[in-house]
Amino acid sequence: MFTNYQGAHNVPVKFKFVIGIPACGTMQSWPIYHYQGSADQLVLLDDGKLRHYTNSNEEEDELYEHTDYDADLDDERKSLFHDYAAGQYCIDKAISTSGQHKQVLYANICLAKREIKWSDTTFLLRKVINPILHGISLILLLLISIIYFILPTLRDLVGNIITTIAVCLMTVQAADFVRIFTEFTNHVSFIVADIILYISLLGAFFWLNSFGYYIWKTFRSRNVFLRVTDGRKYCYYSAYAWGLTALMAALAVFAHFFLDADSYKEQNLIGDQQTIGWLGIWIFFAPIACLILINIFFYVTTLKLINRRNVYGRIQHKLRANFIMFSWMLLIMSIAWLFFVLSLLPYDGLLYAHILVNAVQAPLLLYICVLRQKHVTFLLKKSCCYNEPPSANDWGDEMHYMNCNDY
């Protein structure tokens, strides 16, 4: 039913049906529903354009239809509509599954490119500051992984675990960076970015759990010298961490595609693209919550074992330093995960808090894993400033600190 610009309905025009969705290109597509009492109103004009009225209420229009303020109402509504040319929209009748609305019009439109207001606080935080902070976090996490990977003395079991956690968190930052720019819906698969983000985050916490278990088990052991090699232990922990991560990820993806209801899937959309649903999200997040509780148990029991000992050897000093590093990493990563969960709620304040906490996470991890560890800074100074070849009297960094409390 076509309407002319003067408001006359049922205007006879020549038209041709083209079945399909509009070719939006780089613009974002958006669904609109027009039913009785809705804030959106769709009008098909006689020249082939689709007019979309916003903040419109048909019941109020009928109430004030024959008043003396028709001119004022028309002037007010002129600024509350936008016209979409042919090819930038598709329109059809929709069926209400709930039965509340008998006649529903559905349109899929291409959102016009709006002028960017650099003074808008929301735009600055989400589209400018947030990506910059993600980039800084990526650089700092990359620095942690490089330091623990290139220095031979640090390539033990603990160093490999820290490197793996840093790489997982780097992947989380990269995937979250992709999710920031929702304008590129035709070029980026957001559900793939979501799955990569949640898998990497889950893997980081499984590796943190392996770190806590290693410290807890070593402190409970009576003889720390009778042990398996670090390489074999890393293989065991890899099978545990990546195996359970792959299992939980497979369950979450299966639950999203085959168990989650279609109505819940439609609530998680970016443009016309689907993102991971709430069922899949909670399958990813439930193991993380359990791992945080298990790591708290490792922290409490290990702290009791440390307080019972009065004499520490060189290896105990190193294990104690690793325990302190594990404790701080557990606190920082748990708080960052908690704010990430809260940011999924539809409140802007929680999202801004998540942006702030996420920006602080990487610098704190750099301080805990590198700057606070005196033996790491000693190795960095030695490798960067003293390039003399190793001599027979060079016993390594651990011998330098045998009689000190630098660990």
The closest alpha carbon to 285, from 359, 201, 169, 210, belongs to 201
pLDDT average, residue stretch 198-218:
93
Enter the pTM of the model: 0.68
Return the exposure string of 22-55: e unless at least 16 CB atoms fall within 10 Å of the residue's CB, then b: bebeebbbbebebbeebeebbbbbbebbbebbee
CA dist 318 and 94 (Å) reads: 67
Tell me which range, 119-128, 237-246, 316-325, is most confidently predicted by mean pLDDT: 237-246
Give the model confidence (pLDDT) of 34-73 as tens digits.
887 777 888 888 888 888 887 755 544 444 444 444 444 4
- Decide: 299 and 271 in contact? Cβ < 8 Å: no
Question: Rounded mean pLDDT of the chain?
Answer: 79
Residue that is written with structure tokens 């609305």 in the block: 101
Residue 213 has pLDDT above 90, yes or no: yes
**125-134, 200-209, 330-339: lowest mean pLDDT where?**
125-134
pLDDT average, residue stretch 159-171:
94
Q: What residue spans define the domains of the chain? A: 2-110, 121-400
Q: Three-state SS for 113?
A: coil
Q: Which CATH superfamily is domain 121-400 in?
A: Rhodopsin 7-helix transmembrane proteins (1.20.1070.10)
Give the model confidence (pLDDT) of 265-301 as tens digits.
555 555 555 677 788 888 999 999 999 999 999 999 9
The DSSP element (H or E) to which 104 belongs, if any, is strand 104-110
Looking at residue 63, its pLDDT comes to: 40
Q: What are the tokens at 272?
A: 């016309």
Looking at residue 260, its pLDDT comes to: 66
The closest alpha carbon to 353, from 130, 127, 177, belongs to 130
Q: What are the tokens at 41?
A: 């109103």
CA dist 253 and 260 (Å) reads: 10
Looking at residue 241, its pLDDT comes to: 94
